[in-house]
Amino acid sequence: MKMSYPTQLIATLSYIGCILFLNILLVRLPLIHSFGEQFSPADVLVGIIYIVRDFAQREIKHYIIIAMLIGAGLSYVFSTPSIALASLLSFISGEMLDWLIFSFTQKPLRQRLLLSSIVSTPIDSWVFLMIANRLSLLPFIIMSTGKIAGVFILWIAWLRIQNKKG
């Protein structure tokens, strides 16, 4: 007997999983020391979460906050409370900006996805690093650049898929 899985919440479940996975990596991976500062190799990977979040938000609209809280709760248990709190507060700050962009701009989805990510990533990075007590220039640049690069890579892939469909 072939099992079928519901596809309605794939992006949402992926978003929750990404929050948990990245927060675990932020705790478990050793920091890299460079130019008198330190950063986590996971700082580079965080960008993936933004496009996943945007697709999850498309699935469940403003209930994305519930998915964010679930991811933060799991992170509290499986990573550390300080990283979970930094993650949650940075996601909330980024989400508020994204909500404004998604709710009040009349731009096509492909433009809103990119615009919301570009606006929210530096603010989200700053909030996370400040609360996690890791705020300095190098980690901020690496985290923000990693997020924006991840966004662009996934955004271009998504555009190619959309162009093949249409």
Overall number of domains in the chain:
1
- 62-76 pLDDT per residue, tens: 898 999 999 999 999
For residue 41, what is the domain's CATH number?
1.10.1760
DSSP state of 31: P
Counting residues of the chain whose pLDDT is more than 70, the rounded percentage is 95
Give the residue numbers spanning the domain of 56: 10-165
**DSSP run (H or E) holding 32:** strand 32-34
Q: Does 4 fall in a domain?
A: no
- 19-78 pLDDT per residue, tens: 999 999 999 999 999 888 998 988 878 877 877 887 898 899 889 899 999 999 999 999
pLDDT of the residue at 103: 83
Distance from the Cα of residue 165 to its chain's centroid? 26
Which of 1, 7, 6, 119 has the alpha carbon at shortest distance from 54? 119
Query: Would you state the structure tokens that stand for residue 66, as one six-digit string?
Result: 């519930």
